[in-house]
């Protein structure tokens, strides 16, 4: 009877150890060994970015479909992303977990990448939100929550670990486009994702009708503007008072000169007073005057035309967009 009890007890212990084998096992010396956690399933996804069908091969304009046909006929060529016949230089892609909102990885592509604007992304199975910004602004930088630079190696898909990039800023704002799209990754899901980017900036054009005097030096433009775009909202942030300085000394004796500036604009647009100072090489400025409540809207061009050195003749403001059909005029 005693032997029977011992055998039965050992059998129960074996069953117990066997039932735990999915998470742990015993080594030869009797110690417990944890089994490795299964790797996440991942899939390679081709992201194709365009600005109103301006994605094309270098040196060849046309629609997205035309570009793909050209690549099939002529072989692979370096991709490009343009707007109004000017190349964009930097592309940022941020990959978020749609369910938790956690930022998973970041890609900063530069225009010298062979697959610029058509990157291959390796994504975990599940639901994602991709946020994309393309720009030709000067010296773009990702900011963390403290507005310090968040470093990322160009053209390398980089996992996010501790600190997060929260905004995109630059030394000088130029044409910029952005959009976001939800993507489902898994078995039976498409490995091709296309996204059309929309303009995030307003353009200000200054047209000086009078003759630039012999001792002109610079034009100072004091204006409220936004230095960065928030990745969380895909809208502007960090409003500052700034002075845009333009050297005009090389235009002495000429007339009809045009200058242009880009400004990050909120989704709803905004207005700002603009103060112009027409400086000369020495002495007091020719003129200092303020144009109130100048409208700046995404994908629209605001033009200020008139006499800047003889301001008593007045100037005109026109919002009449080459980028879209809407616009309005303001006379002062």
Q: What is the pLDDT of residues 136-171, one digit of tens each?
A: 999 999 999 999 999 999 999 999 988 899 999 998
At 261, list the tokens. Answer: 């500036």
- Average pLDDT in the 300-310 region? 91
- Cα 282–Cα 287–Cα 288 angle in degrees, nearest 5: 110
- Residue 4 has a pLDDT of 44
Number of neighbours of residue 324 by Cβ within 10 angstroms: 12
How far does Cα 279 stand from its chain's mean position? 35
User: To the nearest whole number, what is the mean pLDDT of the chain?
Assistant: 82
Give the whole-number percent of the chain exceeding pLDDT 70: 75
CA distance 176 to 171: 13
CA distance 59 to 87: 10
Report the C-alpha gap between 102 and 161 in whole angstroms.
Answer: 11
Task: Please answer whether residues 276 and 285 qualify as being in contact, where contact means their C-beta atoms are separated by less than 8 angstroms.
Answer: no
Please, what is the Cα angle at 320 between 53 and 213, to 5 degrees?
115
The residues facing 218 across adjacent strands are: 247
- Distance from C-alpha of 298 to C-alpha of 269, rounded to nearest angstrom: 6
Q: What is the pLDDT of residue 35?
A: 60
Euclidean distance between CA atoms 124 and 232, whole angstroms = 21
Residue identified by tokens 């970041």 is 106
CATH, range 202-331:
2.60.40
Write out the H or E segment, with its range, that includes residue 88: none
How would residue 248 be classed by pLDDT, with cut points 50, 70 and 90? very high
- 71 pLDDT tier (thresholds 50, 70, 90): very low
pLDDT for residue 19: 42
Q: How far apart are the C-alpha atoms of 90 and 169, rounded to whole Å?
A: 12
Given a cut of 60, is residue 2 above it in pLDDT? no
Write the pLDDT tens digit of every residue in 75-123. 444 457 888 788 999 999 999 999 999 999 999 999 999 999 999 999 9
pLDDT of residue 121: 95
Q: Report the predicted TM-score, pTM, of the whole model to 2 decimal places.
A: 0.79
Instruction: Supply the pLDDT for residue 216.
Output: 96
Nearest 5°: the CA angle 53, 55, 58 is 145
Domain extents in the chain: 42-46+89-199, 202-331
Question: 326 vs 43, 69, 281, 297, CA distance in Å?
Answer: 42, 34, 40, 11
Query: Which positions ≥6 away from 164 have C-beta within 8 Å?
Result: 103, 144, 145, 150
């Amino acid at each position: 009877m005693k032997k029977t009890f011992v055998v039965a007890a050992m059998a129960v212990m074996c069953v117990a150890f066997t039932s735990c084998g999915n998470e742990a096992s015993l080594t030869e010396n009797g110690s417990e060994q944890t089994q490795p956690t299964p790797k996440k399933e991942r899939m390679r996804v081709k992201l194709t970015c365009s600005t109103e069908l301006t994605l094309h091969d270098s040196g060849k304009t046309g629609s997205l479909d035309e570009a793909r046909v050209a690549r099939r006929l002529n072989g692979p060529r370096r991709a490009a992303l343009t707007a109004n016949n000017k190349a964009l230089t930097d592309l940022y892609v941020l990959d978020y977990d749609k369910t938790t909102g956690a930022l998973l990885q970041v890609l900063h592509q530069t225009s010298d990448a062979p697959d610029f604007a058509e990157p291959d992304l390796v994504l975990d199975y599940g639901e994602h939100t991709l946020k994309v910004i393309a720009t030709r602004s000067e010296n773009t930088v990702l900011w963390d929550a403290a507005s310090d630079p968040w470093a990322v190696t160009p053209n390398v898909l980089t996992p996010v670990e501790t600190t997060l990039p929260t905004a995109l800023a630059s030394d000088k704002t130029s044409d910029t486009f952005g959009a976001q799209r939800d993507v489902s990754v898994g078995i039976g899901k498409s490995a091709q994702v296309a996204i059309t980017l929309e303009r995030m900036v307003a353009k200000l054009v200054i047209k000086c009708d009078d003759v630039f005097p012999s001792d002109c030096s610079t034009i100072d433009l004091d204006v409220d503007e936004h230095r960065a775009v928030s990745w969380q909202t895909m809208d502007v942030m960090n409003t500052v008072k700034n002075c845009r300085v333009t050297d005009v000394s090389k235009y002495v004796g000429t007339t009809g000169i045009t200058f242009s500036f880009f400004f990050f604009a909120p989704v709803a647009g905004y207005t700002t007073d603009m103060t112009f100072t027409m400086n000369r090489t020495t002495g007091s400025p020719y003129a200092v005057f303020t144009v109130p409540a100048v409208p700046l809207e995404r994908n629209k061009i605001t033009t200020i035309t008139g006499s800047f050195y003889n301001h008593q003749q007045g100037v005109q403001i026109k919002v009449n967009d080459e980028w879209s059909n809407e616009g309005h005029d303001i006379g002062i």
